[in-house]
Amino acid sequence: MLRAALAVFRKDLRQELRRRVAVNTLVVFALATVLVVYFATVRAPLDGRAHAALLWVIVVFAASVGLGRAFTQEVEQGTDLLLRQHVPPGAVYAGKLLFTLLLTGVLGGVAAGVYVLVVGVGVPEPLLLAATLALGGAGLAAATTLLSALIARAQGGAALLPVLLFPVLVPLLLAAVRLTRAALDGGFGWTGTQDGFVTLGAFLGLVVLGAILLFEYVWDE
Amino acid sequence: MVNVRRYRLVRNIVLATMTAVLLAGMLVPFPRIDDILGQTHRNLFFHVPLWFALMAGMGVSAWHAYRYLKTGDLVHDLRSNEAARVAFAFGLMGIVTGMFWARATWYESAGLWWNNDPKQLMAATQLMVYAAYFVLRGSLDEPVRRARLASAYNLFAAILVPLLLYVVPRQMESLHPGAEGNPAFSNLTAPAMRLVLYPAFATFIGLFWVIYTQRVRIALLERRSEPDL
């Protein structure tokens, strides 16, 4: 099981290193959106709340554009059948999730880093920001992986991902934006953040639970 | 599929009790305890039971989604879809009655219809989730695949509902009764209102059942006349 999951992960990683489609899409999308935000808000005095909201809007939109390829790609190339025959469904999900986590890590790092540099935001609590991006990104990756398997065979699949993804992400976004704001505003440190982290953790746990229970039905033909 | 005699019995009971709830809810003079609420406390008989009916409908929808995944019988998928549609309509009415009520009690002077109260946001989000469910159904042609994927999404949404309705709203400030630091509604209204409220719960859930079974019958007939669909 674990070996199969790692094999799926290695396969995706190798494919990605050859063409670099997903990473390039994510990074360029994030960069372009940060520039758009910068030009749109030039010299507008934004507070930490607005910066936190904008940063997460960028991350979530980039994710819905760039992370949905995991299963559509298999279906387009006709390799999903091979995968289905040789690997148990749980291992497929785990492997794809690992790869999506990697991509989300790159996305979160690039988006937050460039945003902070270009828009010029001070980060008094960098560790808090990093922890929020990590835990929020993990929840985002888990939900995106499950839903991109769901839409792999739907008409207009790519456009469907945000429609399915955004409503279920609301709890995650509320908590992540509040934590990011605390990290950008500073002053209170980590006090009062446990509610947000509990929500992020609960979201991740529930999504993974849902994936464990439902993925075989989504994946089996 | 549907027991017609049972259906007629429930329908007639619902007709009678709904008439009684409407008349009693509008006409019986209840003592006013809270000055802000005034006569709007009568909305209690409609707003709250609508939410109960929504929850019941979502529960029925999720149950049949689960049954579909277990049995592979397409009738369960059809029932899941119809339950979600009727429940969605009840949820819309729940939001609208809530908007009127909130306007009259929370921010009449501000002229607002929407306050971004966590309860409102979460309710709207829940309806968005089910709207996405309908979009997903629309984009899948093949009945078996549509049933499988839609059921999976339905259950995925049902798993996240507790987070939406109970965890997140408790972390935000709310004006809604029963939220953190607010009195429960029973402290603001006359005890006699329970005599109408409790039958209203059963009546609205009964109304959901009547519309839902009727829609299932229509859908079954449509499927019989066009077996390929």
Residue B125 lies in a domain: yes
- Is the alpha carbon torsion for B17, B20, B22, B25 positive or negative? negative
Distance (Å, whole) CA B97 – CA B43 = 7
Instruction: Please state the rounded mean pLDDT for residues A167-183.
Output: 91
| Amino acid occupying residue B81 | N
Q: Say yes or no to pLDDT of B229 above 60.
A: no
pLDDT (average), residues B16-25: 86
Side chain identity, residue B221: L
Residue A181 has pLDDT above 60, yes or no: yes
Domain of residue B89: give its range.
Answer: 4-24+39-225
* HEC string for chain B: CCCHHHHHHHHHHHHHHHHHHHHHHHHCCCCCCCCCCHHHHHHHHHHHHHHHHHHHHHHHHHHHHHHHHHHCCHHHHHHHHHHHHHHHHHHHHHHHHHHHHHHHHCCCCCCCCCCCCHHHHHHHHHHHHHHHHHHHHHCCCCHHHHHHHHHHHHHHHHHHHHHHHHHCHHHCCCCCCCCCCCCCHHHCCCHHHHHHHHHHHHHHHHHHHHHHHHHHHHHHHHHHHCCCC
What pLDDT does residue B109 have?
62
Q: Does B124 touch chain A (CB under 8 A)?
A: no
- Indicate the pLDDT class of residue A108, thresholds 50, 70 and 90: very high
- At residue A59, what is the residue type? V
- What ipTM score was computed for the predicted complex, to two decimals? 0.91
CB B160 to CB A206 under 8 A?
yes
Which structure tokens are listed for B79? 């029932």
**Which A residues in the span 183-202 are in contact with B, Cβ-Cβ below 8 Å?**
195-196, 198-199, 202
Whole-number pLDDT of residue B178: 65
**Cross-chain Cβ contact A171/B140 below 8 Å:** no
Q: Between B125, B148, B155, which is nearest A167 by CB? A: B125
pLDDT tens string B166-222: 776 666 666 677 665 566 666 666 677 777 888 888 899 999 999 999 999 999 888
Question: How far from B118 is each of B126, B156, B179, CA to CA, in Å?
Answer: 12, 22, 10
Any idea how long chain B is?
229
φ/ψ of residue B175, rounded to 5: -95, -5
- What is residue B189's predicted lDDT score, i.e. its pLDDT? 66
Please give the tally of structural domains in chain B: 1
Q: What's the mean pLDDT in B6-26? A: 87
The answer to whether residue A44 scores a pLDDT higher than 90 is: no
In a domain, B31, yes or no: no
Cβ–Cβ of B159/A174 closer than 8 Å?
A: no
Q: For B56-113, what is each residue's pLDDT tens digit?
A: 999 999 999 999 999 999 999 999 999 999 999 999 999 898 888 877 777 666 677 7
Q: Please give the residue range of the domain that contains residue A162.
A: 2-219
Please indicate whether, in this complex, the C-beta atoms of A210 and B159 are within 8 angstroms of each other. Answer: yes
Which of B69, B131, B167 shows the shortest C-beta gap to A202? B167
Q: Is A193 helix (H, G, I), strand (E, B) or coil?
A: coil
Q: How confident is the model at residue A201 (pLDDT cuts 50, 70, 90)?
A: very high
Task: Report chain B residues whose CB lies below 8 A from the CB of A198.
Answer: 167
Does the pLDDT at position B32 exceed 60? yes
Considering A15-24, A38-47, A97-106, the range whose residues carry the highest mean pLDDT is A97-106
pLDDT at B33: 67
The two tokens of residue A58 are 């960028």
Q: How far does the CA of residue B21 sit from the closest CA of chain A (Å)? A: 35
What CA–CA distance (Å, rounded) separates B116 from B183?
Answer: 20
Question: How many other C-beta atoms are found inside a 10 Å radius of the C-beta of residue A53?
Answer: 16
Mean pLDDT of chain A: 89
- The number of distinct structural domains making up chain A is 1
Q: CA separation (Å) from B100 to B37, B53, B93, B96, B108? A: 12, 19, 11, 6, 10
The answer as to whether B193 is a domain residue is: yes
CB-based contact A217 B69, cutoff 8 Å: yes
The mean per-residue pLDDT over the stretch B104-128 comes to: 77
**pLDDT value at residue B70:** 93
Res B34: pLDDT: 66
Rg for chain B, CA atoms, rounded = 19
Measured CA to CA, the distance from residue A97 to residue A91 in angstroms comes to 10
Asked if A164 reaches chain B (Cβ–Cβ under 8 Å), the answer is yes
Which of helix, strand or coil describes residue A40? Answer: helix
Counting one residue from chain A and one from chain B, the pairs whose CB atoms sit within 8 A come to 91
pLDDT value at residue B188: 61
Q: Which residue's entry shows tokens 């066009």?
A: B226
Stretch B26-51: mean pLDDT, rounded? 77
* Local confidence band at B5 (pLDDT 50, 70, 90 cut-offs): confident
